[in-house]
Structure 1
Amino acid sequence: MMNPIFLCHGGPSIVIEDNEYIDFLKEYARKNKPNAIIIFTAHWENEITAISSIDGEYKLIYDFYGFPEELYRMKYPAKGSKEIASRIKEQFAKASIPCKLDEERGLDHGAWDILYLMYPNADIPVVQVSVNPFLDKEEQINIGKALQDFPKEDILIIGSGSTVHNLSTVDWNATKPKEWAVQFDDWLIEKVLDNDVDALKNYQKFAPNAKHAIPREEHIVPLFIALGSGNKERPRLMHRSYVYGTLSYIGFEF
């Protein structure tokens, strides 16, 4: 049984950095090697849920600007799985969730940067799935619920996004997290660990500094999907740390 997880993927430069979050990712992967990975990434938005469906090697999408040149030369030769993609589509169809297969999409940095750190050998089939930040939270949770059987086959579901995601507030010289970001994450973590789904669905109304922390919802959506796909009665906080003042690195297990 591979319990679904939510991970903050950070900036693309995470793959060449050295911090405690990277240590956590590597340690998690050392203890947990799935048969396949289904990853919902904040960097693939689609009105209709799209599922990558390839058997060959993914091309990498370098969907970022102004970073060190070595990042644009990064390679991660992960392969897809048409079989698993088709099964995901079938489960969505049973749950009346509109979806489609995509045979061309590459692997964006919301997926490949954390997978590069966790499973550098790229020897695990990966299926990437899009998000739609304009669906309501119940629909996001139901997308996850449709896939609840996959973890029983040791297929790891990852929601890849961020909790605090306001790039205009990043302070490259900060040595400690900003209080407003900590306050938002404190609230979020409490509600996740209490499995208070009603509060989470209304985080914009109740969480402190919510609009400042999440000016746009594409990066928080994968958390709701991972939550919905989970089978644990009580979620678990696996990791929490910060870089650059407001960039939170949080990992939940559902």
Structure 2
Amino acid sequence: MIPSLFINHGSPLMALQESDYTRFLQDTGKRFAPKAIVLFSAHWEERVTTISFAEGPLTTIYDFGGFPDELYRLTYPAHGDPVLAGRIEQLYRERGLETRRDNKRGLDHGAWIMLRYMYPAANIPVVTISVNPFQTAAEQYHIGEALAGLGEEDILIIGSGTTVHNFHYLKFGQTHPEPWAEQFDDWLIDTIRQRDLASLFQYTELAPYASRAVPRAEHFVPLLQAMGSSSSMEEPLLLYRGYEFGTFSYTCFEF
């Protein structure tokens, strides 16, 4: 069985860097040999849960601007898996959840940057799923929960996002984390370890500095979806914790 993961995809520049975090991604990829990957990306927003049915090789989406030319020459030509996408669609329908298909969607930087480090051969099929930041935390969890059991078939589910993500509070050049960012993650880590879903679903009211850490939920909801998708009875694991620019969190979990 393969657990579900919540992974920080980092900034686009991470694709050109070697760091403790990119080495962590490489090591994490070596731990698991999935037959397919299902990925919720913070950088694909739709009002209705949308599933990529593209077969591939998938296009590499450069959903950013103003970066070095070298970055735009990088590709990640993994294939899709329309059969798996169809199965996911059916799992959602069985729970009464509305879905749509996208037959052309490639891999945005919430997907391909981390996957280039985890699985550089690009030889594992990838199915991406959109997020809707306007749904409740409980609804996000249940979207993930519909996929529980896929890990038992060696399908790796990844939620790609960030716990603390607020560009207004970045401290460029600062190497130590701001206390408020740490306090938010402290609360989150403790709540997740206890599987205290009631509190987690009310994180906007209960977590310290929640409105500052999560001013908009698109980068946070993949965590809820990844956690919901896990069928493991083990305690969730904190895989990595680090910060860049004072507040940008690289907190990662295994469920």
Paired residue for 2:28? 28
Following TM superposition, by how much is the alpha carbon of 1:229 offset from its aligned partner in structure 2, in angstroms? 0.5
State the alpha-carbon separation in 1 of the partners of residues 60 and 167 from structure 2.
Answer: 23
1:208 Cα shift?
Answer: 0.9
Q: 1:245 & 1:232 partners in 2: Cα distance? A: 33
1:145 aligns to what? 145
Q: Secondary structure at the match of 1:238?
A: strand
Mapping 1:1-254, distance limit 5 Å? 1-233=1-233, 234-254=235-255
Letter in 2 for 1:102: D
**Counterpart contact for 2:6–2:161, Cα < 8 Å:** yes
Q: CA deviation at 1:243?
A: 1.4
RMSD (CA atoms): 1.0
Deviations 1:107-157 (A, max 9, x none): 100011100111010000000000111111111111111111211110000
Distance 2:185 2:69 in 1: 32
Summarize deviations over 1:4-27 as a string: whole Å, max 9, x none: 110111111111122211111111
State the one-letter code of the partner of 1:250.
Answer: T
* Contact kept? 2:175, 2:243, Cα under 8 Å: no
Q: Could you say what secondary structure the match of 2:183 adopts?
A: helix
Q: What is the identity, as a one-letter code, of the residue corresponding to 1:214?
A: V
* Contact kept in structure 2, 1:7 and 1:251, CA below 8 Å: yes
Percent identity at matched positions?
A: 47
In the TM superposition, residue 172 of structure 1 has moved relative to its aligned partner by: 2.2
Measure, in 2, the Cα distance between the counterparts of 1:183 and 1:66.
33
Gaps of 5+ in 1: none
SS in 1 for 2:2: coil
Aligned mates of 2:119, 2:53 — CA distance in 1: 20
> What residue ranges of structure 2 are gaps of 5+ in the alignment?
none
- For residues 207-251 of structure 1, the C-alpha deviation after alignment (integer angstroms, 9 at most, x for no partner) is 111111111000000011011111223211111111121111111
TM-score by length of 1: 0.98
Instruction: State the alpha-carbon separation in 2 of the partners of residues 183 and 83 from structure 1.
Output: 43
Output the amino acid matched with 2:157: I
Q: What is the letter of the counterpart of residue 151 of structure 2? A: P
Give distance in 1, aligned partners of 2:153 and 2:231: 13
Query: Does the 8 Å contact 2:57/2:77 carry over to 1?
Result: yes
Q: Matched residues in 1 for 2:175 and 2:107: separation?
A: 32
Provide, for residues 131-189 of structure 1, a one-character-per-residue CA deviation record: whole Å limited to 9, x for no partner. Answer: 11111111111111111121111000000000000012222211211111111111111
SS of alignment partner, residue 182 of structure 2 = helix
